Amino acid sequence: GHIVRNWKVRWFVLLQDKLLYYKIEGGKKDPSPKGRILLDGCTITCPCLEYENRPLLIKLKTKTNTDYFLECCSREERDSWALDITGAIHAGHPVQVQELHRMKNSFKLLENISLHHIVERMCDSSTGIKLTHNLGQGNRYKETFTGSALVDWLISNSFAVSRFEAITLASMLMEENFIKPVGARSTEATRYSDLSEQFLDDSTALYMFAESSKKNISSKEELQFNISELSGTIVKQGFLVKQGHKRKNWKVRRFVLRADPAFLHYYDPTKEENRPIGGFSLRGCLVSALEDNGVPAGVKGNVQGNLFKIITKNDIHYYIQASSKAERTQWIEAIKPLT
């Protein structure tokens, strides 16, 4: 309400240039509208996070700077209304309407997105994600947030344009151990082999910052690389898929092979900073192709083939996938002379 700031149930009707709302009496709407919101020059904010305890809000600001806060019954309904209202606002611009629907149904993460930057913004005391105490399966968890709250926050802070993109981004945060699931609902989902199903856009799925995020630095950032090992001549570089050592999942990494001194470093292509997140000396290493008809015991998850293995002199095993047999052969032939 504009005068008394309370919340009232209203029946809404969206027209091409305006949004009408009606009072409900005895389960029926009045014949005449209670009010209208002119959409010409209107701006829409969805999700709107101005009310901490009302996550299902849409905010409309009219051309005359009047604010309307509309609360829906579910996230699906909220997003559907927001898309249709936005389409009506841009009704005179069919190209923009087509672009809105394309964005809603497409997948394209921001270029050069930095997970570290996202976590820093999440941890901000004023604009970051709100941490609350939540109950799950009878247990009380401190400083947690729900999966749907994180998806809303990522969209409202322009890190993603759709819920699908935000879920993918949240999955990456979990994959890189910035956030972790807590409680039965979210931890059970991590048992799925498909990464896209591991993070839940759900108001009952709980998550919290991992220990590395609380320190606002990940364990990978603590890796220190000697300047000399990065000074060698670049022999070969390109994108390969590497299996993680802890979670045994597969991640795209940019590999750089250097000689004099001989090192193989790998970089996270989603991070802005141009520094390796891992690497090792090639002296004393063994490199070999792995045949597609047999997957070694140390390899888990989705294996597309074209595997090869590098064993360091400290007996650390690296499993790597190339995009083709030819590419795998090229990498092995480039690495072998440097071992």
In this predicted structure, the answer to whether residue 219 has a pLDDT above a threshold of 60 is: no
- Buried/exposed code over 283-313 (b: 16+ C-beta within 10 A; e: otherwise): eebebeebeeeeeeeebeeebeebbbbbebe
Q: Which helix (H) or strand (E) holds 132?
A: strand 132-136
Structure confidence at residue 225 as a pLDDT band (50, 70, 90): low
For 118-147, b where at least 16 C-beta lie within 10 A, e where not — what string?
Answer: bbeebeeeeeebeeeebebeeeebeebbbb
| Better-predicted residue by pLDDT, 25 or 255 | 255
Average pLDDT, the chain: 80
Q: Who wins on pLDDT, 266 or 301? A: 266
- List Cβ<8 Å contacts ≥24 apart for 48-56: 48/156, 49/152, 49/153, 49/156, 52/130, 55/148, 55/149, 55/152, 55/203
**192 burial via Cβ count (<10 Å: 0-12, 13-18, 19+):** exposed
Q: What integer pLDDT is reported at residue 243 of this predicted model?
A: 86
Q: Would you say residue 239 has pLDDT above 90?
A: no
% residues pLDDT > 70 (the chain): 80
146 Cβ neighbours under 8 A, 6+ residues apart: 134, 202, 203, 204, 205, 206, 207
Q: Are 206 and 134 spatial neighbours (Cβ–Cβ below 8 Å)? A: yes
* Conformational region of residue 251, where left means phi above 0, alpha means psi within -120 to 50, and beta covers everything else: beta
What's the pTM? 0.47
Crossing angle of helices 115-122 and 163-175, rounded to 10°: 100
- Residue 332 pLDDT more than 90? yes
Contact present, 74 and 81 (Cβ < 8 Å): no
Question: Tokens 């809303």 map to which residue?
Answer: 152
Q: Residue 137: its pLDDT value, please?
A: 54
Q: Cα torsion for 88, 91, 93, 94, to the nearest 10°?
A: 100
173-187 CB burial, b ≥16 within 10 A, e <16: bbbbbbbbbbbebbe
Q: Which domains does the chain have, with CATH numbers?
A: 10-105 (2.30.29.30), 115-218 (1.10.10.10), 227-336 (2.30.29.30)
CA 212 to chain centre: 18
Residue 103 CB coordination number (10 Å): 14
The tokens for 179 are 């956030």
Segment 169-208, tens digit of pLDDT: 888 888 777 898 988 888 887 765 455 567 888 888 899 9
Residues paired with residue 311 on neighbouring β-strands, in sequence order: 286, 317
CA distance between the termini of the chain: 73
Residue 310 has pLDDT above 70, yes or no: yes
In this model, does residue 303 exceed pLDDT 80? no
Taking only Cα atoms into account, the Rg of the chain, rounded to an integer number of angstroms, comes to 25
Which pLDDT band holds residue 338 (cuts at 50, 70, 90)?
very high
Give the residue with greater pLDDT, 271 vs 250. 250
Helices (H), the chain: 75-89, 94-105, 115-122, 147-156, 163-175, 184-189, 211-214, 325-335
Tokens of 245: 């050592």
* Alpha-carbon span 246 to 309, nearest angstrom: 17
Q: Crossing angle for the helix pair 75-89 and 94-105, nearest 10 degrees?
A: 160
pLDDT at 15 over 80: yes
CA gap 134, 111 in Å, rounded: 34
Structure-token pair, residue 162? 């759709």
